[in-house]
Amino acid sequence: MDAQYKLENADVILSLDADFLGGIAQPGFLPLAAAYAARHRYEEGQTMNRMYAVETMPTVTGFKAEHRLALKPSDLAAFASALAAGGAGSGSAEAQGFAAAVLKDLKAAGGKCVVIPGEQAPASVHAAAYALNAAMGAVGKTVVYTETVNPLPSEQVADLKSLVGDMNAGKVQWLVMMGVNPLYSAPVDLEFAAAMAKVPTTVHLGTHVDETGSLSTWHINKAHYLESWSDARAYDGTISIIQPMIAPMYGGHSAHEVLQTLLDNPEASAYDVVVANAKTYIKGDFATSWRKALHDGWVEGTAFAPSSASPKSGAAPAAAAASSGGIEICFKPDPSLYDGRYANVGWLQELPKQVTNLSWDNAALMSLATAEALGVEQSDAVEIKVNGRTISAGTLVVPGHADGAVTVHLGLGRRVEAGRVGGGVGFNAYYLRTADAPYAAGGTVTRTGDIYDLCVTKVNFIEHRGSFAQQDLNDKEFDKDGTYSLPGHEAMERAIIRYATLEEVKAHPDFAHEGGPGALVNKVGYGPEGDTPGHAESMFPDAWSYDHQDVSAQQLQNKWGMAIDLNSCVGCNACIVSCYAENNIPVIGREQVKIGRNMQWIRIDTYFEGDLHAPRAHFQPMACQHCENAGCEQVCPVGATVHTPEGLNMMVYNRCVGTRYCSNNCVYKVRRFNFLLYSDYDTESLKFMRNPDVTVRSRGVMEKCSYCVQRIEAVKIEADKENRAIRDGEIVTACQQACPTSAITFGNVNDPNSAVSKVKAKERDYQVLADLNFRPRTTYTAGVINPNPELA
């Protein structure tokens, strides 16, 4: 039985360790994120939703929540159970107050509320969520139960255990492993490797000769899913037909073909199998419906119908209890690499992980208080011991992590067999994970005395109260014991992040602008700097005039601009990855990232506001702002970065000599430099990967976001051919396309009816670092949060 959540109907959301905005760990997260963001917008005639999150490891979901409670796994399970029982439980005063407020708010929502349990949360939490949803009358409104997408639901761990038992008993003659890597990811106490050695013939089907493949009798080269016909079911049951995008590059075989061979039908191709299967679920005229399904990408009407099934009762095992006095070790899939299957993808290894900004590493993630209790500091090497097994890891302090627990991310520490990118990166947390305690286990963490220098793209500079900020901090509600993040504090002081509560924004719609009557100057401390200086205040002539009509073409002059809604941005990193793919951004490796040379054209700036024990985090996508008064353009000695008549700030790669002056003078620090020859020109397979419309940059040149100029030009050419103006929405930048929450809008600012103009016309629209008068073309819509007054 699966739960389908309808967040579009939910006024109040409670996440019990569910990271449904961050993605990867939560099936079906994309529609959830989109629906959440749609309801989180502050718009006329819409009730803004409110989210509560209870979690161990801080996630983007937790930080998007208005209220967040950090609990270690055992406390979290107890909290959920107590909540389901209608009481506040026996937790800390903070947890009890939180529980009381949440319960009250959930009840007040009248069924328009939902409780979402995390995929990695223990069964008791799922049971509690089920009970709460039922009690609050949410079933049918915001949550719908359907049959599960798994055709043969079973206790998978128990199945695996019995398989290993059979293997050890010599009952298994043939073991066929398809697309799995049990030698890497199976619970360590099952000793899968030893069991596999007792099987006479093992067959592994995989895209790589990985840990399992290298020890199997036979390894079959698997075709990538984009190289073969196949079909799949989405989380809601909808069937998709997978079409190959390319012939198998390395002569791989799909699972369909292998299975057909095993069924003594080696002649059957994957296509035959998929079509034969499709005939069972495609209704009506097959030829027409098949073509339609291929065109649409899914088969209509195949989603599950709501069922009235109820979960098995009494089966919920108790959550793994923490050993007394120890630390709870929490296992989470890596936010970028998931369970390790994507470990050989350079983009994902290099992608700064959500919240932590770790790149090319995993770490022992813990709170400030836990680190202090353990006597460790950032980058100290620690030894994590669970059930007699130990691994060594670097320490990373994560603001807002639950005390008394340490989170480790699975998916790294792959052996060299993983490939030339993923092998040997980080440590393998699976080594601590047993079949009985797959998500959390009691253990000990001790300092080894060594230093493990972690690769973090943005350092949080956790600083104790310094003399500089003393006077400001005394006025603030945060900084309970003198610990704050200097960058986070500065981001607020500098009005880089602007947000207000729902009540404040109603009273002062213009809160995001200094000087206005309702400006919340004191709240976020905008500082003495003014807003953008008006043009009349400048001695210089306006360098660019975009507002004229292009008489020859009888068209509106294009004036490209972007608006980013900070309310919608959930910090999921999808924009970064799509930018990698679109713009041929090189992967530069751990050592280069560590010293600050990461090449991403767009990044998610994460700021921690307030006391680092319970901070509020803000996410801000930051790419080239395409300033009208661009500092970079003025200082380039060879004119390699110039302005187009449409207002794009362009890099001319083959004119760049690489003085890097432009980067120094960029106040947003969005320019990226090829300090070495980062692009791989030689690897054959990478040539397929590259976007032919975008230059592959060589050593010694600067690069940066171009607003996807290749896409703009492509659309312009099409429009010219059809002798028409460019339609609004026709140009979609890569980041915009990938954004699950539609936080990014792009278009012609000269057109008052364009989507981007409408967003920019909002009162909450503001420029980052406006007082410097660079006049950025990208503007941000200030965030609005909807806190519960009882918890404020």
Binding site for another protein (CB under 8 A): 458-459, 461, 466-468, 486-488, 490-491, 493-494, 496, 527-529, 592, 595-597, 603, 605-607, 620, 622, 631, 634-639, 655-661, 663-665, 667-669, 671-677, 699-702, 768-769, 772, 774
Tokens of 110: 């009248």
Q: Name the minimum Å distance from CB 687 to another protein.
A: 22
Q: Name the minimum Å distance from CB 603 to another protein.
A: 7
* Sheet architecture: strand order including 201-206: 174-178, 201-206, 218-221
Residue 164's contacts (CB-CB under 8 Å, 6 or more residues apart) are 186, 190, 191, 192, 195
* Largest interatomic CA distance in the chain: 87
Q: Name the minimum Å distance from CB 579 to another protein.
A: 16
Strand partners, 671: none
Which lies closer to another protein via its Cβ, residue 13 or residue 701?
A: 701
Q: Name the minimum Å distance from CB 6 to another protein.
A: 35
Which lies closer to another protein via its Cβ, residue 294 or residue 486?
A: 486
Whole-number Cα distances in Å, 229 to 233, 274, 278, 431:
14, 7, 12, 35
Q: Name the minimum Å distance from CB 101 to another protein.
A: 32
Which lies closer to another protein via its Cβ, residue 91 or residue 487?
A: 487
Which lies closer to another protein via its Cβ, residue 476 or residue 758?
A: 476
| Collapsed DSSP state (helix, strand, coil) of residue 500 | strand
Contact 331, 438 (CB under 8 A): yes
Which lies closer to another protein via its Cβ, residue 331 or residue 608?
A: 608
Q: Name the minimum Å distance from CB 105 to another protein.
A: 33
Q: Name the minimum Å distance from CB 561 to another protein.
A: 20
Contact 203, 213 (CB under 8 A): no
Strand partners, 463: 484
Say how far apart CA 276 and CA 703 lie, in whole Å.
50
Contact 580, 600 (CB under 8 A): yes
Which lies closer to another protein via its Cβ, residue 153 or residue 515?
A: 515
Say how far apart CA 567 and CA 619 lie, in whole Å.
9
Which lies closer to another protein via its Cβ, residue 52 or residue 360?
A: 360
Report the residue count for the chain.
792
Q: Name the minimum Å distance from CB 648 to another protein.
A: 17
Say how far apart CA 441 and CA 329 lie, in whole Å.
5
- For 636-762, list the strands marked E by DSSP: 641-643, 649-651, 672-673, 702-703, 744-748
Which lies closer to another protein via its Cβ, residue 240 or residue 659?
A: 659
Q: Name the minimum Å distance from CB 525 to another protein.
A: 9
DSSP 660-686: -HHHHT-TT---EE-SS--S--S-HHH
Say how far apart CA 125 and CA 316 lie, in whole Å.
9
Q: Name the minimum Å distance from CB 217 to another protein.
A: 45
Crossing angle between the packed helical segments 270-281 and 286-296, to the nearest 10 degrees: 110
Q: Name the minimum Å distance from CB 346 to another protein.
A: 18
Tokens of 83: 């909540």
Which lies closer to another protein via its Cβ, residue 113 or residue 702?
A: 702
Contact 146, 14 (CB under 8 A): no
- The vertex-737 CA angle with 233 and 359, nearest 5°, equals 85
Q: Name the minimum Å distance from CB 447 to another protein.
A: 23
Which lies closer to another protein via its Cβ, residue 476 or residue 660?
A: 660
Which lies closer to another protein via its Cβ, residue 226 or residue 459?
A: 459
Q: Name the minimum Å distance from CB 68 to another protein.
A: 21
If we measure between CA atoms, which residue out of 85, 88, 4, 95 comes closest to residue 54? Answer: 95
Q: Name the minimum Å distance from CB 704 to another protein.
A: 11
Which lies closer to another protein via its Cβ, residue 361 or residue 703?
A: 703
Which lies closer to another protein via its Cβ, residue 433 or residue 704?
A: 704
Which lies closer to another protein via its Cβ, residue 275 or residue 642?
A: 642
- For the chain, the distance separating the N- and C-terminal CA atoms, rounded to the nearest angstrom, is 37
Which lies closer to another protein via its Cβ, residue 323 or residue 629?
A: 629
Q: Name the minimum Å distance from CB 158 to another protein.
A: 47
DSSP 504-526: HHHH-TTTTSTTSTT--HHHHT-
487-508 core/surface letters (b: 16 or more CB in 10 A; e: else): bbbebbebbbbbbbbbebbeeb
Helix or strand holding residue 755 (H, E): helix 755-760
Contact 703, 601 (CB under 8 A): yes
Helix or strand holding residue 632 (H, E): helix 631-635
Say how far apart CA 225 and CA 181 lie, in whole Å.
17
